[in-house]
Every structure is written in structure tokens, then in C-alpha cells.
Amino acid sequence: VIKCKAAVAWEAGKPLSIEEVEVAPPKAHEVRIKIVATAVCHTDAYTLSGADPEGCFPVILGHEGAGIVESVGEGVTKVKKGDTVIPLYIPQCGECKFCKNPKTNLCQKIRITQGKGVMPDGTSRFTCKGKQIYHFMGTSTFSEYTVVADISVAKIDAAAPLDKVCLLGCGISTGYGAAVNTAKVEPGSTCAVFGLGGVGLAVIMGCKIAGASRIIGIDINKDKYAKAKEFGATECISPQDSKKPIQEVLVEMTDGGVDYSFECIGNVRVMRAALEACHKGWGLSVIVGVAAAGQEISTRPFQLVTGRTWKGTAFGGWKSVDNVPKLVTEYMSKKIKVDEFVTHTLPFDKINEAFELMHSG
């Protein structure tokens, strides 16, 4: 058993608490990882807020991390002690019907136990002050050591800087993949990206790499426009600058609507606007943002009858074990940006400040 520091969420709506936790050794088909770097994501904040119907407490949050394999359980063959890895919140077992289908990346092998905050055998590897602590998204990267299923880990280039590539565990991969895998953006197309946070910037990057000629960034926070343009946005607009609904503004700006739109916020009204900003006959809108529990999307069916398509994406459609190492290689060869997404680097015990920085935009 390893004793180490972790940021424990004892209950919803309260700041994280840095505690000494005990991390049990990995059982069969499990891997124990020394986490070197982790990022914070809105999904962590969403669960911490208490709005997540799957949220269990007390829990160790975190799902964008990178580290080194400390030890492996019985039967683990894909990684060994000392390997550099990224833990994966969407695993890839290679055996379930989802993994065998090229149309999806949503491996279901451990979905039920992962959603309940436990390892595949139904138990936890974390204890603190004598209490069992739940796992989160199968990763729990807000701990100096964590245990994950062997299908939830990608072995990456040992030369990669872990304080950067940890971001490929969720946000950057999600946005980039939404553009290149889910939407399959084409050269010369017009795109609109709603929400210019980390995921939105990654979508812009993907649209640019795919050859889009016009990329319109949309956000009410104008402080984000300069960064969006650095990533490839050709122009940025705020919904608050016009009396008309934003979809009407976009339809006028683009002679009938955009070819591709992306909702990167998790707001159901914005999801509708993103669909309705698409061009009749062929426009495609991708939902990337995660809305709160119980919310529903709506539009007039005529929007779809007249040729628009509404899609969603999880982790950008990447089959995780296969593709995360390739994304790291693309970053190392400068095909995709990662460093530019990092605005602040803080010591682990300042994790609550990291959440405050994220909430402030």
C-alpha cells in the first residue's frame, strides 16, 4: 500500500481537501500509476457541484492526467513498470461489440462499475481516514498515485512533457476529434464554434488543420478572441452584440448558414442555435458540450427535414488506446498545438485555485 497526497472531494459543493490517502496495490488487470501532472476540466467541476446524477462522494476527481507506471497487477501485458502513460476515461478493451465497430469509440466493458465509482471488481483502491473513497471516471488523477483498469491506459512516447500531454486525456483530443472525426470538416468549408474555452479552441485547431476557410468563434467573453484567432479563428462575434438571435446573425453572415457548427459549452439553448445556424441541405452540427442532468434539446423537426444533421461526440471519436499515443506523436512533431492551451501551472496543493481560474475564464 502506498501512502500519498490526494485532493479529496468529501461532499458536493465544497472545496477539495488535500489529504493523505492509502492507495492499494493493483489487482489482476489493473495498473498503478504515479501521476506526474494533471489538468482541471469543467467535467470535474460539474461533478463537484452536485449536478452530476452519477456523482458519488467522497471521491478523488480528475481525468486529464499523465504519469509513470509504478506497478502492474496479474495478467497485465500492454504496459510495464516505468512506462509513460495517459489514463483514459473512455477505455478500449478491443473485445466488446463497441470496440469491434469502427463507427464508435464508446467501449462498454467497464462502463457500469466506472459510473458507480469503483474498479471493475466492484471495490475501491483508495482509503482515507478509514473511509473508502470512490474513483472518478475510471482515472482519479487528483492523486499522486492512482489505480486504473489495464484497458484504461495508453502507453505514450517517454520523451513527451507530461505537464503538457496530460491535456490529451480529455479536452484537446475531444475538440480536435470533433472536427476531424465526427464532423469530418472539409477543405474550404465554413465553421462556427460556440464557446471558446479549451475544447472550443481545440475544435478551431481541428477545423484549421482540416482546411476550413472560414472559422467563426462565438463567445460572450471577448477576452478570449485573441487566443481563438491564434488557434485559427478568422473572426469572432458575441451573441450580445445583436438584437437578433445568434443563428440569424450567422445565417446572414455566411449566405445561408455554416457548413459545420460545434457547441462546446453544454447549454441546450446554444445547441439549438448551433443547429439552426447550419446551412439548409447539408449543414452539420456537433454537440460537444455536456448539458446538466435532465435537460432536453429542442428544435423544429423542419430543420432536420430540410437537410441539417445533428450529431454528438465523446472524446472526439478517438479509439483511446490506439489513438492517444498517435496524438502525442502529432504534438511532438508539431502537427497539433498543446503548449498553447496551458495558461497557468500550479503546485498540487493549489488545486482549488486552479478551479477558480477555470471558472473565471
Render pLDDT for 59-106 as a digit per residue (tens, 0 to 9): 999 999 999 999 999 999 999 999 999 999 999 999 999 999 999 999
Give the residue carrying C-alpha cell 480528475: 62
List alpha helices for 171-234, DSSP H: 171-177, 198-209, 225-231
Does 272 fall in a domain? yes
Residues 308 and 185 in one domain: yes
Q: How confident is the model over 195-217, as a mean pLDDT? A: 98
The conformation of residue 189, written as its DSSP 8-state character, comes to: -
Residues 6+ apart with CB under 8 A from 349: 5, 18
Peptide bond into 239 cis (omega under 30): no
| Same domain assignment for residues 273 and 335 | no
296, 151: one domain? no
Angle at 224 between CA 222 and CA 226, to 5 degrees: 100
Task: Tell me the angle at which helices 42-49 and 351-359 cross, rounded to the nearest 10 degrees.
Answer: 100
Distance CA 157, CA 332 (A): 9
Does the residue 60 lie in any domain? no
Cβ atoms of 237 and 256 within 8 Å: the answer is no
With a cut of 90, say whether residue 311 has pLDDT above it.
yes
Q: What is the CATH number of the domain that holds 107?
A: 3.90.180.10
Cell readout for 211 is 482546411
Class of residue 287 by CB neighbours under 10 A (exposed 0-12, middle 13-18, buried 19+): buried
Give the model's pLDDT for residue 90. Answer: 98
- One domain for residues 278 and 327: no
Q: Could you tell me the three cell numbers for 117? A: 465509482
Burial of 255 (0-12, 13-18, 19+ CB in 10 A): exposed
Would you give the DSSP letter of residue 183? I
Cα–Cα–Cα angle for 245, 207, 156, nearest 5°?
Answer: 130
- 182 within domain boundaries: yes
Looking at every residue in the chain, the average pLDDT score rounds to: 97
- Provide the domain count of the chain: 2
Residue 58 lies in a domain: no
Q: pLDDT of 110-165, one tens digit each?
A: 999 999 999 999 999 999 999 999 999 999 999 999 999 999 999 999 999 999 99
Does residue 59 lie within any of the structural domains? no
Strand partners, 64: 39
Write down the pLDDT at residue 51: 86
Contact 235, 205 (CB under 8 A): no
Domain that holds residue 227: 174-314
CA–CA separation, 151 vs 187, rounded Å? 35
Is residue 155 domain-resident?
Answer: yes
Q: Domain check: are 122 and 6 in the same one?
A: yes
Q: Do 105 and 216 fall into the same domain?
A: no
User: Count of alpha carbons within 13 Å of 298, Cβ hemisphere only?
Assistant: 3
- Same domain assignment for residues 333 and 307: no
Task: Compute the average pLDDT of residues 278-306.
Answer: 96
Q: The domain spanning residue 237 has which CATH number?
A: 3.40.50.720
Question: Rounded distance, CA 204 to CA 147, Å?
Answer: 34
One domain, residues 254 and 285: yes
Report yes or no on 116 lying in a domain.
yes
For residue 90, give the nearest of 29, 158, 169, 9 by alpha carbon: 169
Say yes or no: 112 and 223 in one domain.
no
Q: Are residues 190 and 167 in the same domain?
A: no
CB 67 within 8 A of CB 154: no
Residues 112 and 234 in one domain: no
Q: Is the same domain home to 109 and 194?
A: no
Whole-number pLDDT of residue 166: 98
What integer pLDDT is reported at residue 52 of this predicted model? 85
Kindly report, residue by residue over 27-62, the tens digit of the pLDDT: 999 999 999 999 999 999 999 998 888 899 999 999
